[in-house]
Amino acid sequence: MDTDSDTRDEYALITGASSGIGWATALRLAPERKLILHGRDLDRLAATKDACAQSDAHLIWPCDFCAIEDVADSLTKLLAEKAAAVNCFVHSAGMVKVLPMRSTDCWIAQEMMNVNVISATEVLRVLLSKRTNGQHLRGVVFISSIWARFGARGHGMYCATKGALDALMRALAAELAPEVRVNSVLPGAVQTSMAAEGFSDPEIVENLRRDYPLGTGDVADIAEAVEFLLSERAKWVTGHEMVVDGGRTASMSLKGRAMPE
Ligand SMILES: NC(=O)c1ccc[n+]([C@@H]2O[C@H](COP(=O)([O-])OP(=O)(O)OC[C@H]3O[C@@H](n4cnc5c(N)ncnc54)[C@H](OP(=O)(O)O)[C@@H]3O)[C@@H](O)[C@H]2O)c1
């Protein structure tokens, strides 16, 4: 599409906006941007939309990333129907299954790759299509994890998916510059439905208090980093892994305790 005649409204697309870090990112970005809120659960997506500033301006995109072959078509259709273009993409949707490798069959491994990584490449394929999204895309942030950098028992596929996201981020930062900046945020443990089991175990909570020099953080701390990376304040930052973990990785113990981070 000729960008001069492209008068579509611009949106920031947030995957996983129905919950946790995606939800907090939506609330943080909403005062300044129109949003496309992605998730599976329509009630929770509606609740996110209602909780956001300028609630009526935002769109909802329900899509299950397990059905990976439908993702690109579904997003293309939404952008066409709503005459919308996307200038920022935050990939927060993700899943974790804690399993020893002997129980991780190819279907589980593929499901985790689809939801955590391939969904992002399918979304980007649409957002980088000149026909579908013009040349609107400017900023991308992947929500990775500190477990992209460290091992943890039972987290083989989760660590692999987050490591893949960071490697993809660096390659895209090189490929898409100077028009598009691409970065990752690597959170430590924050309380969300994904981490609920860990946070309900008093022993793990005690470990968290000991292992995080700055104490426990929350989803708003992660959203703050995302907002910075998308903003003009970060106009010379691309290809960067921003660790937001209260100092956890700076003081990593060797005892191998695992949280679903
Ligand atoms: N919480 C932590 O301690 C922590 C630490 C490091 C990194 N992370 C990462 O942060 C990101 C957000 O996690 P969170 O902690 O905010 O967890 P969360 O509250 O459980 O949110 C996960 C989000 O992903 C979406 N999602 C899950 N499976 C999906 C699927 N098959 N198709 C489409 N969407 C799907 C969920 O949508 P529905 O609810 O609508 O199904 C939800 O919006 C993840 O990538 C996670 O790996 C979290």
Within 8 A by CB and 6+ apart from 19, the residues are 39, 41, 44, 192, 193
CA of 13 to the centre of ligand 1 (A): 15
Closest atom of ligand 1 to CA, residue 41: 40
Per-residue pLDDT of the chain (261 residues; tens, 9 = 90+): 555 578 899 999 999 999 999 999 999 999 999 999 999 999 999 999 999 999 999 999 999 999 999 999 999 999 999 999 999 999 999 999 999 999 999 999 999 999 999 999 999 999 999 999 999 999 999 999 999 999 889 999 999 999 999 999 999 999 999 999 999 999 999 999 888 888 888 888 888 888 999 998 999 999 999 999 999 999 999 999 999 999 999 987 655 555 555
Nearest residue (CA) to ligand 1, atom 17? 194
- 65 CA to centre of ligand 1 in angstroms: 12
Q: Which atom of ligand 1 sits closest to the CA of residue 66?
A: 31
Q: Are 257 and 212 in contact (CB under 8 A)?
A: no
**In the prediction, which pLDDT does 243 show?**
98
Ligand 1 atom index nearest CA of 63: 33
Q: How far is CA 93 from CA 7, 194, 213, 235, 253, in A?
A: 29, 11, 27, 25, 29
At residue 10, the pLDDT reads 98
Question: Position 55: which residue type?
Answer: S
What kind and span of H or E run contains 45?
Answer: helix 42-51
Model pLDDT, residue 5: 72
The backbone torsions φ and ψ at residue 54, rounded to the nearest 5 degrees and listed phi first, read 40, 55
State the distance from the centre of ligand 1 to the C-alpha of 55, rounded, in angstroms: 22
**Which atom of ligand 1 has the smallest separation from the CA of 187?**
6
The CATH architecture one would assign to domain 3-190+220-237 is: 3-Layer(aba) Sandwich (3.40)
Which pLDDT score, from 0 to 100, does residue 204 have? 85
Nearest Cα neighbor of 26 from 63, 1, 50, 52 is 52
Burial of 78: CB neighbours in 10 Å, binned 0-12, 13-18, 19+: buried
Give the position, in ligand 1's atom list, of the atom nearest the Cα of 45. 40
Dist. CA 35 → ligand 1 center (Å): 18
**C-alpha 22 to ligand 1 mean position (Å):** 7
Ligand 1 neighbours by CB, cut-off 6 Å: 16, 18-22, 39-41, 44, 64-66, 92-95, 115, 143, 145, 187, 189-190, 192-195, 261
> What predicted TM-score, i.e. pTM, was given to this entire model?
0.95
Letter for the amino acid at 135? Q
